[in-house]
Amino acid sequence: MTIDLAVIGGSGLYNFPGLANASRHAIDTPFGAASGDVVTGDFAGRKVAFLARHGESHTVPPHRVNYRANLWALHSLGARRVIGVNAVGGIRGDMGPRVIVVPDQIIDYTHGRYTSFCDVEGAEVRHIDFSEPYTESLRRELINAAGTAGIAVIDGGCYGATQGPRLETRAEIARMKRDGCDLVGMTGMPEAVLARELALDYACLALVANFAAGCGDEAEISIEEIFAHLAAATAEVPRILEVLLKS
């Protein structure tokens, strides 16, 4: 099977709108079960694969996602380009709710996750270059597609990946800001590095659902507001990907 683009949907994106002739694939991987079936179909005249990172009913928390199985499943179906759609909190002042960012760097604060395909008995140990964690050519395609679609996105930014599922303390966000993070999310790693180990082109569409703790005016972050902002940003994703696939 030839897959022109694979999309991993985060919180708020549990299916791919407009996917025609859809079929489901339960993939058996050496790393266990993926978050759910991979759904393939036609979109914008191309073959697209979609996987809901947290499961289609949002039952898998970020620290329990089987990132290795997810990436392996997409790779085994023939995907070579992957877009990760991630819900994030904004740290930088211009990265407020409903803003879409195409980050170019990552800092990993997660722990206890399987971060490499090398982490199995007898596997070859590979030291990959991760200086640039996202594929620049695919990043540029996303940014250009958004521009053509008339959708504003921010080019670049540092994604800080935290453990979750709880949100962060003000002190943790202050530390991340000092470290140079512009965004905070719970699923950016190890997804990006596993894609690199499989030689997949990988880029991220980061959808800002809220300001991180201490970065906005809210005394408390409301989950209801988070999902309202996320729904508005998520609605723009198919338009961006449609232009990307047609270009």
212 is in an annotated binding site: yes
CB distance 154 to 88 below 8 Å: no
Closest by CA to 114, choosing from 186, 52, 65, is 65
2 annotated ligand-binding residue: no
With contact defined as beta carbons under 8 Å apart, do 39 and 19 qualify? yes
Residue 181, SS3 per DSSP: coil
Among positive and negative, which fits the CA dihedral 244, 201, 192, 2? positive
Please tell me whether 66 is known to bind a ligand: no
Bridge partners of 154? 101
11 is in an annotated binding site: yes
* 29 among annotated binding-site residues: no
Q: Does 25 appear as a known binding residue?
A: no
Q: For residue 29, how many other CB atoms are within 10 A of its CB? A: 16
Pick out the residues of the known binding site: 11, 53-54, 186-187, 210-212
Pick out the residues of the known binding site for phosphate: 11, 53-54, 187
Pick out the residues of the known binding site for substrate: 186, 210-212
